[in-house]
Structure 1
């Protein structure tokens, strides 16, 4: 479980770092605030399509781990290209492609973690829920 915890720490730390610093990087590249907003907004829109697609692919291949590793390798390669660009339309295109792949890493990793937890602790449900009832007198 330590490996998975470390993986999640690195994954979400990278999300936090890139999410917080991406607008500053794009501003440094000379983009206007409108262009930065378009790039970041379209990245979020594309994520809506990327997550179900890679969820479907992991179900079809019956291997969340293989899809997760593939998505992460492709995201790494695309991000190397991304930081070499400086024109708006190229940044926009590559950011959309990057978010298509990168958006699935969190959900795929969570599913992998839950599967591993379920395998070693079979008496617990896959999704934990808590129900509380508040009664006022």
Structure 2
């Protein structure tokens, strides 16, 4: 299972230059994912309206993968109303989301749900921003304000 980016997100972020901007396609995915996680929004997707971008955390994201996965797990467990004190329920859900044998440490189900948060985050971004971002600086300022509302 791979990280998947909505095709419309690829288009929406095209004006942010690769030089001094989003150097990796995963950068777009990351901002969509963080938005989805922060806002608690996930949206179903089909493979036909998304594109596989990478199989594992690329570049500098690799050293932060545990933090990203922890944010995901916290958000998903919260959405399922599972308390950290409910050990049996917690272990059952974690067993469906995590697979230590994979490059991402997430199971296929975990990756599907993670991608749903990225898709939901993208929908939140396009709803909030009236226009496509044109510069990285402008996007980051608006993103910061939106995420912290």
Q: Structure 2-normalised TM-score?
A: 0.25
Structure with greater helix share of residues: 1
Larger Rg: 1
Greater RCO structure (CA 8 Å; 6+ sep): 2
Structure with greater strand share of residues: 2
